[in-house]
């Protein structure tokens, strides 16, 4: 499943404080009240154009961390704000970029 099969999104809820996005993820909702870390998969392991949406519904920011020395918009990590934060990521095949982030 690619997350876009049958024109619907695969949604997963995470209650822990550390998580790695999966090939089958599309939208991932974080509900833990502590600070959280979301690890992006290696950009070379996903096809160009692959999109992930990360949503934070609880207190405690999410630090999104790409694999190894990879970057998001040229930065080592990206913070997704507590309670209402959201970030949409896309792979170019060689790097991660945000479509939207708050």
Enumerate helices (H) and strands (E) in the chain, giving the number of each.
0, 9
* CA-based torsion, 78, 34, 84, 90: positive or negative: positive
Q: What is the pLDDT of residue 2?
A: 54
Q: What is the pLDDT of residue 101?
A: 77
In this structure, the strands spanning 86-91 and 51-56 are antiparallel
Phi, psi of 7 (to 5 degrees): 55, 25
Would you say residue 1 has pLDDT above 70? no
Would you say residue 12 has pLDDT above 80? yes
* pLDDT tens column, 62-94: 999 999 999 999 999 999 999 989 999 999 999
* pLDDT tens column, 23-72: 889 999 999 999 999 999 999 999 999 999 999 999 999 999 999 999 99
């Amino acid at each position: 499943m690619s997350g876009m099969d049958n024109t619907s999104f695969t949604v997963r809820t995470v209650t822990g404080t550390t998580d790695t996005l999966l090939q089958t993820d599309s939208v991932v909702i974080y509900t833990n009240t502590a600070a959280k870390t979301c690890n992006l998969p290696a950009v070379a392991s996903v096809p160009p154009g692959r999109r992930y949406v990360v949503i934070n519904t609880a207190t405690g920011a999410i630090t999104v961390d790409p694999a190894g020395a990879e970057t998001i918009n040229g930065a080592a990590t990206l913070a997704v704000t507590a309670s209402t934060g959201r970030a949409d990521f896309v792979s170019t095949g060689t790097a991660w970029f945000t479509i939207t982030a708050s």
